[in-house]
Amino acid sequence: MGAQVTLLGLDFGSTTSCAVAASATLTRAAGSGRAELGALEERYRSEMALTPFAGDALDLDAAAALLDRWLAEAGVAPGALFGGGAIITGLAARRSNADALAALIRARVGEALLAVAEDPCLESWVAFMGSAAPLSRARPGEPLVNLDIGGGTTNIALGVAGEVQRTGCLLVGARHVALDPRSRRLRALSPEARAAFDHLGLRRGPGEVLSQAEAEVVVAFYVDLIEAAITGRAGALDAPAAARHVQVPFALPEGIAAPTLTFSGGVGELIYAGLAGRPLPEPAHHGDLGVDLARAILASPRLSARVATPASMGRATAYGLLRHATQLSGATLFLPRPERLPLRDLPILARLSPVSSDAELDHAVDLFCRSTRGGCLEIALDDVSAATLKRLGARIAGALRRAGSIPEHPLVLLTAKNAGKTLGGYVTGWGALPIDLLVIDEVKAHGARFVQVGRLCDQILPVSFYGMTP
């Protein structure tokens, strides 16, 4: 039995926010010895809370009080957290002080937790992992697209056999149009909603009544955008009003079979309620277009013909962050200076392999030397023989020497293979090269741009990635 650790997932969204906490055990897989999180047990699931706003900004004091309450109810001591993540999503992420909320979260929970504002591809990835990944693994030959539809965004992820292959994001969600539930008077329109209204010829603004027929025109426009994204009708997204709603383009690979769809997010829950035959609330019940959007999706042959139901639908983003935002390093770390940990927000500067040219190595090392805080190089390895690792290590060392004075800030090498200690030894000449080097093996960067490394626990490092590319 390995060490007991605590994980936390936090999601501050356009309309609601939530927290999920769990306990797990660091274990080793039989045979491979690969580090794993075992005996995962959810210990706390908060009630959904309204995301606190103060005018056009997030209410940081209210958010801090909410976070403190969650931590107290979960019995989580911030310093005891091993990993997980917090993400500010949708319309909340677009408020001017969203980064301040991310900093507040970090201050409350310590260095272990990834905390980012508006990372749409990461959100798409964690929503898939938190909702659809088990179903995708159970159907390994079937492409599956998860649509995480909330208040501000529709996050799209294509997965095959449990692995996310493509991501994208539309600025389509329930809360772009805020309504008074009783009078149907408009309270607010997002810039995207205003563009949609203008495109649709709806001359309505805050204080005016939006009729049910007009609401249905708006959600029909939204549904057409979602259909276009997942069916490859890219041209339908080129018109100015449509393009305004594309945050990250999504494209299915050529030749792929028609995917099965799963849904998550607040609108996703309404969709599954409708599929199960349960009555939906009245339109505008939540003060937005969520019910209308769910009804329109249920009525769409393209979006309702091939739908699967994942085992876990609620809080997909928070659960995905809790369970999947933190990866575990391999056992053969090269870590001469564990006291340097944790390392936060290190950029992944380049992706290299044994066949990279000297010019590519020199360029990557030059980027590292110019960085003010250090950096990471992702190393793709097919062959982990001693000869290959020795040649590659010597070439990286040569590039560092050619760069001149070696910086004091850390260089992190990341590889999916079990080769950390050996590669680190060859790069440093077994201690001869004066560089603050860390080699983390058996982790996958998933096309990310930044990495966060936690503190050592039971000879295992927690590693998180963000800034993912589509």
Q: What is the DSSP string of 76-144?
A: --GGGEEEEEEEE-TTGGGSTTHHHHHHHHHHHH-TTSEEEE--HHHHHHHHHHHHTHHHHHHSTTS-E
The pLDDT value recorded for residue 36 is 82
- pLDDT by 10s per residue, the chain, length 470: 578 889 999 999 998 999 999 998 888 776 667 778 888 888 899 999 999 999 889 999 999 999 999 999 999 887 788 888 889 998 999 999 999 999 999 888 877 678 888 789 989 999 999 889 999 999 988 999 999 999 999 999 999 999 999 999 999 999 999 999 999 999 999 999 999 999 999 999 999 999 999 999 999 999 999 999 998 886 788 889 999 999 999 988 888 888 999 999 999 999 999 999 999 999 999 999 999 999 999 999 999 989 999 876 667 787 788 778 888 898 889 999 999 898 988 999 999 999 999 999 999 999 999 988 899 999 999 999 999 999 999 999 999 999 988 989 999 999 999 999 999 999 999 989 999 999 999 998 888 889 999 888 888 899 998 887 76
Query: What was the pLDDT predicted at 243?
Result: 94
Q: Is the dihedral of CA 42, 47, 50, 54 positive or negative?
A: negative
CB of 145 within 8 A of CB of 133?
Answer: no
Round to whole Å and give the CA distance between 104 and 94. Answer: 16
User: ∠244-470-341 over CA atoms, to 5°?
Assistant: 120
Beta sheet of 375-379, edge-to-edge order:
326-328, 462-466, 450-453, 343-352, 375-379, 411-415, 437-441
Q: What is the pLDDT of residue 448?
A: 87
Residue labelled with tokens 């500067």 = 349
Name which of 351, 354, 376 is nearest 451 in CA terms.
376
The answer to whether the bond into 342 is cis (omega within 30° of 0) is yes
Please report, to the nearest 10 degrees, the dihedral formed by the alpha carbons of residues 19, 25, 28, 30 taken in order: -100
The residues near 69 (Cβ < 8 Å, ≥ 6 apart) are none
Contacts 24+ apart (CB under 8 A), 270-273: 270/294, 271/149, 271/297, 271/298, 271/307, 272/309, 272/313
R_g of the chain computed on alpha carbons: 24
CA 267 to chain centre: 19
CA distance 339 to 425: 19
Q: Determine the Cα–Cα distance for residues 64 and 176; give it in Å rounded to an integer.
A: 25
CB 338 within 8 A of CB 366: no
Angle between helices 120-131 and 316-324 (to 10 degrees): 90
Q: Say what the pLDDT of residue 312 is.
A: 66
The span from the CA of 347 to the CA of 119, in Å, is: 15
Q: Please give the pLDDT value at position 29.
A: 75
Among 217, 219, 221, 183, which residue's Cα sits nearest to residue 202? 217
CA 220 to CA 122: how far, in whole Å? 27
In angstroms, how far is CA 159 from the centroid of its own chain?
14
